[in-house]
Structure 1
Amino acid sequence: MTDAAQTAVPIIRGAALRRFGGGVYPILAVLIALIAVWYLAAAWMNSTWTMDQAARAGTSPGFSEILADTMSQDRPKLPAPHQVAAEFYDLVFNKPVTSKRSLVWHAWVTLSATLVGFGIGTVLGIVLALGIVHNRAMDLSVMPWAIASQTIPILAIAPMIIVVLNSIGITGLLPKAVISAYLSFFPVVVGMVSGLRSPDAMQMDLLRTYNASRAEILWKLRFPASVPYLFASLKVGIAAALVGAVVGELPVQQGGLGARLLGGSYYGQTVQMWAALFMAAILAAVLVLIVTRIEAGLLKRMGLRQ
């Protein structure tokens, strides 16, 4: 190895460590702080039950006894992080994935409705955006209705959708997918409309100078310009679709993370509820990461990113 190479290796290694540490250390610091606050909140919220039990028994437990009890209650108001982690591990790794006690099985039920609803919402959002951009009547009529639709609380409309679809014989996956599509189409509409309208007047005039048709303007200018906007809205849309699937499972109770949450609330199984919440959060993070990876690959292929 040459002297220049020997000198460059420590410099490159130090730069890599600084880059790695600069991204990881702040995240670890925030994570440790959140866990510490979580433990303090769990001890404070769960101590009420411990003190009540001690008062009924006529005893006076010490601080260490109170703290130990608040960290190990079967049905705590707020479970400690280690309780949630143990429950999550048990329901994910110690249960067969085909068992209805497995979080993996419930996550698959929720994921299937999420993906179907996200697909429906994405297609609907893109079609509506194309109509809004190319038709002034749709711009004046459809867009206000799309905005107004998002003012209706999803908890109020979800049971109505389930009941109406069940009355015409549509059950199972599709009603939950419709609720997911209802939440996910709006971000796609807004993002796609913004993207399709993002080319400036000079670019539009240039294509008109070459006598380009509306279809050619769409495929050669508007659509490529809209891709970054589309993927930004898809990240929001897929997270909203997951929320819609979870909400759609609440009145149905046929499996899924939503059913798991509701079942835990019925029987006071707060640890089970928090484990299901973490599974939903992990599922959302994975879905957004997949969309991000697809975006990076597509933009690189289009020459918009190195």
Structure 2
Amino acid sequence: MTDAVLNAPVARRLRMPTGDLLPILTVLLVIVGIWYLGAIRMNATWERDQAARAGVELTLPDLVARTLSQDRPVLPAPHQVAVGLWEGVTGQAITSRRSLVWHSWVTLSATLAGFAMGTAAGILLAVGIVHSRSMDQSVMPWAVASQTVPILAIAPMVIVVLASAGITGLLPKAIIAAWLSFFPVLVGMVKGLRTPDAMQLDQMRSWSASRAQVFLRLRLPSSLPYLFASLKVAIAAALVGTIVGELPAGATAGLGARLLSGSYYGQTVQIWAALFAAAILAAALVALIGLIERATLKQMGLSR
């Protein structure tokens, strides 16, 4: 009886993953089912037209089979995207320009550079805003206004202006990524640095703490949960900015280039494979930030 009671929490922990996965798998199956139905419906017109020209009458099973195996479908089926993604990752050497791994690395390098620039700018501006009322009243409205301009309008201007100055390659894309990523960091960091209440600040003053000590011992530790939450948003935004930056200049490398070439030649499977590669890359980057967050907060004794 005692062993059963002691092992009950362990059994519950072992059952929890299955219980948590069931709703996720159910939603995933529903999405895949809807996707298949959409692929059949959207690709059926082409097959009916081809059959009518050939004087062939298609049965429903034949129609379904053909709509799910087209070379250039309007909407690729999930298994076609999976095959395209697998071939793009494992079908050739990672140094090949046809490899999704190579294109992902090109996009990742600009993403990380832009994320670093945006994070540094966001943190520095946040520190200035919290400690300076004039910066709060002047910089913060401009930071908010900067995010109201569509990135699709900014990206071509940045690419063209920097290209006219002889600056091409990674830096223009990194600047666009930084433009999108600095704002979440700025807002989250300002919120986090302002988390300590008046009583905590008064206690630090009663200990004759300097402004730097208040920042390092109170404001900064309080801001870390907000900072890491903002970093997860910022890293995903930086990836979007990099891909957008690869589009207007007709780039030949990066996931944006794969999207462009796929649209030029009607390779919808290639387009969807590149989109899924970008989604997987974003998920991996967010997960990495999450791991760093847990390790950092645990080290500082702030984890739950």
In the superposition, the TM-score normalised over structure 1's length comes to: 0.96
Alignment correspondent of 2:51: 54
Query: Given the alignment of the two structures, is residue 89 of structure 1 paired with residue 91 of structure 2, yes or no?
Result: no
Aligned to 1:295: 293
TM-superposed deviation, 1:32? 1.0
CA drift of 1:213 comes to: 1.6
The residue that corresponds to 2:267 in the other structure is 269
- The whole-number CA distance in structure 2 between the counterparts of 1:87 and 1:254 is 19
Which position in structure 2 is the counterpart of 1:280? 278
Matches within 5 A, 1:128-143: 128-143=125-140
Question: In structure 2, how many angstroms separate the alpha carbons of the residues matched to 1:201 and 1:283?
Answer: 42
- Percent identical pairs in the alignment equals 62
Measured in 1, the distance between the counterparts of 2:112 and 2:166 equals: 22
Counterparts in 2 of 1:221-300, with a 5 A limit? 221-252=218-249, 253-300=251-298
Q: Which amino acid aligns with 2:108?
A: L
CA shift at 1:8, angstroms? 4.8
Partner of 1:207: 204
Structure 1 stretch displaced more, 53-62 or 70-79: 53-62
From 17, 37, 47, the counterpart of 1:20: 17
**Matched letter for residue 37 of structure 2:** L
The answer to whether residue 66 in structure 2 is matched with residue 66 in structure 1 is no
Q: Distance in 1 between matches of 2:131 and 2:208?
A: 18
Are residues 42 and 199 of structure 1, via their aligned partners in 2, closer, same or farther at CA, if it must alter by over 3 Å? Answer: same
Would you say how many aligned residue pairs link Structure 1 and Structure 2?
Answer: 303
Match for 2:163 among 160, 166, 171? 166
Structure 2 counterpart of 1:213, one-letter code:
S
TM-score normalized by structure 2?
A: 0.97
What SS is found at the alignment partner of 1:166?
helix
Counterpart Cα distance in 2 of 1:10 and 1:226? 39
Comparing 71-80 with 9-18, greater Cα deviation is found at: 9-18
Query: What is the CA-CA distance between 1:58 and the residue it aligns to?
Result: 2.6
- 1:126 maps to 2:123: yes
Gap runs ≥5 in structure 1: none
User: What is the CA-CA distance between 1:13 and the residue it aligns to?
Assistant: 5.2
How far apart, CA to CA, are the structure 1 residues paired with 2:45 and 2:81?
A: 20
Unaligned runs of 5+ in 2: none
